[in-house]
Structure formats: C-alpha cells, structure tokens
C-alpha cells in the first residue's frame, strides 16, 4: 500500500517553491506600509504646524489687546487727575440722552478709543467714562484758599467694549 497517495496531509509542497513563485508580494506590501506611514506623518506635521501658527497668532492678539487695555486704563487715571490724554487715546466728549446731573456736581462724559497697530491689523477698545467734578460755591472757595484740598474728581467707567 502506498501511504503517500492515500493521506493528503503528507503530500505538502515545500516552502521554497512558494517563495520562488511569490512574484514580489512582500516588496509591494512593505512599500505600501512605508507610503501610508509617510502620508500619516506628513498629515500630523501639517496639523501641528497649523496649530502652532494659531497659538502664535492668539498670543500676539492677546499681547496687543493688553497693550490697548493698558493705554485706556492709563488714560482714565490721567483724566482722574485732570490731565490731557490725547497722546494716548482718541477722546470725544458727548452728552448722553436722559442724563441728569446732580446738584453741585459738574459731569462730563468722554468716549475714549484706544488703538494699537500690529502686523495683523489693529486692535481697538472703547471706553465710555463720566468725570464728576464738584462745583465750587463762594463758601467752599474760601475754605479752599485756607486749606489745600486734594483732587475731588471722580471717574466712573460706564461702558467697556471692543468695537
């Protein structure tokens, strides 16, 4: 009896015959894997560079916003002391509708616009303030000449916005 013919599991083809007949399948699969890996790395690098640019722009914008905000705050402090602020910000006086001033107090409203120029354009912030100065009467002027008073001006911020 011939056992080789009756049992199919005994008759295997040797592995070296498969390797000889493969015709480059392994090479194509390795090159495809390298190509996919390269494309995914390129996509990841592109996303990373874009996010770094976004963060840099945001950092620059926030720095310019803070600079403009500091200009407005400095202008408000100078106005509280009665000094000119036209070198820092644009100043516009106006009278709001339905505003009633208090007795003995002179009120004036100002619209301050701070601007900072930068590479991406400009940053603008607008602040509306009211400056209250007590009116001097004849009896208070006699007291003022006798004793020096500190500055009685009060500055109140009414609105703060980015136009």
Q: For 104-116, how does the pLDDT look when each residue is reduced to its tens digit (9 = 90+)?
A: 888 889 999 999 9
Distance CA 95, CA 73 (A): 22
> Which pLDDT score is estimated for 143?
52
Q: Which residues contact 11 (CB under 8 A, 6 or more apart)?
A: 4, 5
Which pLDDT belongs to residue 69? 93
Query: Is pLDDT larger for residue 95 or for residue 7?
Result: 95
Q: What's the CA dihedral at 68, 71, 75, 78 to 10 degrees?
A: 160
Q: What is the pTM of this model?
A: 0.64
Structure tokens at 30: 């390795």
Contact 51, 121 (CB under 8 A): no
Domain boundaries, the chain: 45-161
């Amino acid at each position: 009896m011939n056992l080789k013919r009756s049992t199919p599991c005994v008759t295997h083809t040797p592995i070296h015959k498969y390797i000889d007949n493969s015709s480059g399948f392994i090479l194509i699969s390795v090159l495809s894997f390298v190509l996919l890996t390269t494309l995914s790395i390129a996509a990841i690098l592109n996303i990373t560079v874009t996010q770094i640019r976004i963060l840099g722009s945001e950092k620059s914008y926030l720095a310019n916003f803070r600079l403009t905000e500091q200009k407005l705050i400095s202008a408000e402090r100078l106005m509280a002391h009665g000094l000119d602020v036209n070198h820092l910000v644009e100043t516009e006086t106006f009278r709001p509708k339905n505003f009633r001033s208090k007795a003995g107090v002179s009120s004036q409203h100002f619209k301050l616009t701070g601007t900072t120029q930068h590479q991406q354009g400009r940053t603008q912030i607008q602040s509306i303030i009211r400056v209250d100065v007590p009116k001097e009467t004849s009896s208070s002027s006699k007291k003022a000449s006798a004793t020096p008073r500190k500055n009685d001006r009060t500055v109140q911020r009414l609105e703060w916005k980015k136009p």
